[in-house]
Amino acid sequence: MTEVLTFGEAMAALRAEQPLMLGGSLRLSVAGAEANVAIGLARLGHAVRWVGLTGDDEFGRLVRRTLRAEGVDVSRAVTTEEGPTGLVVFEPRVADLVRVAYFRTGSAGSRLAPVHLDAALTEGARILHLTGVTPALGPGPARAVHSAVRDAGRQGMTVCLDVNYRGKLWSREEAARVLRPLVPHVDVLVASDDELSVVAPAEAATEAARIEALLSRGVGEVVVKRGSVGADVFTAARTITRDAVAVPVRDTVGAGDAFVAGYLSGVLDGGPVELRLDRAVTAGAFAVATVGDWEGLPGHHELDLLRAEPGSTLR
């Protein structure tokens, strides 16, 4: 049985070695929040399915081939001639600051609709994972998100929503209008501290008030990512805090997706909240210590690697 079902847009990704205006090499890979989570979960030993649309082009073939190679089920993914596979470009600008440029308007992934999810939802999963990126792509993807959340609830799936606000895709006001109605159907809500206001009621003016409001609306666990500081999990009964794992930072892109993969892995393994949070911050540390969205994510057997002394050679 599929343990986690996720859906959204996976894109070809180009990574520059220096500012784009200077020219130079671009490394080709794939990216996409939900695809990153799917790969992270598959590496941790879980059965995960990704659903989405890719173009009938070489970028689309790269996306599907990469996901299959990483052990992700793409049997319900769709290839379409109605739009190209999306593209994202990562440009290092200064220190560890990275600029992101999207080329996804009219893409295959932006044509996602509820019908594309019907078969996968019927076949079921333990967890439905979705992000706030998908409904930002257009009316069809937004309808797909709302429909999937309702269907998942009727089937008894655990629903995980990572807010994952992207200011280049839509405004905070648009995001709030679309995402707030989802909250009563969400079991696990993941957000950075500055994203809580997007999903909490507008009248909630402080972080504490926002968390209380989300819990009162039925969310079982509010997971707050705090970057290099660590993370907290808030439930109706208690608060659990974990510091971030200290590692040399090479690339922060994809760290949030790694965090979610680690957290959901802990859920699937039946661990307490403490284990889930430990695994989440560990997976996030692997992500920031390596270049790429998902390339450095750990296998289950590697979760203890970061406990080794810096500079160790494991023989």
Residues tagged active-site = 257
Distance between CA atoms of residues 212 and 216, nearest Å: 6
Task: Identify residue 67 by its one-letter amino acid code.
Answer: L
- The gap from C-alpha 224 to its chain's centroid, in whole angstroms, comes to 14
Tokens of 176: 């709030």
Q: Name the one residue in this structure whose structure tokens are 């295959």.
A: 108
The 10 Å Cβ neighbour count of residue 286 is 25
Report d(CA 112, CA 239) in Å as an integer.
37
Task: Determine the Cα–Cα distance for residues 286 and 257; give it in Å rounded to an integer.
Answer: 11
**Which residues make Cβ contacts (< 8 Å) with residue 138, sequence separation at least 6?**
110, 111
What are the tokens at 240?
């659990």
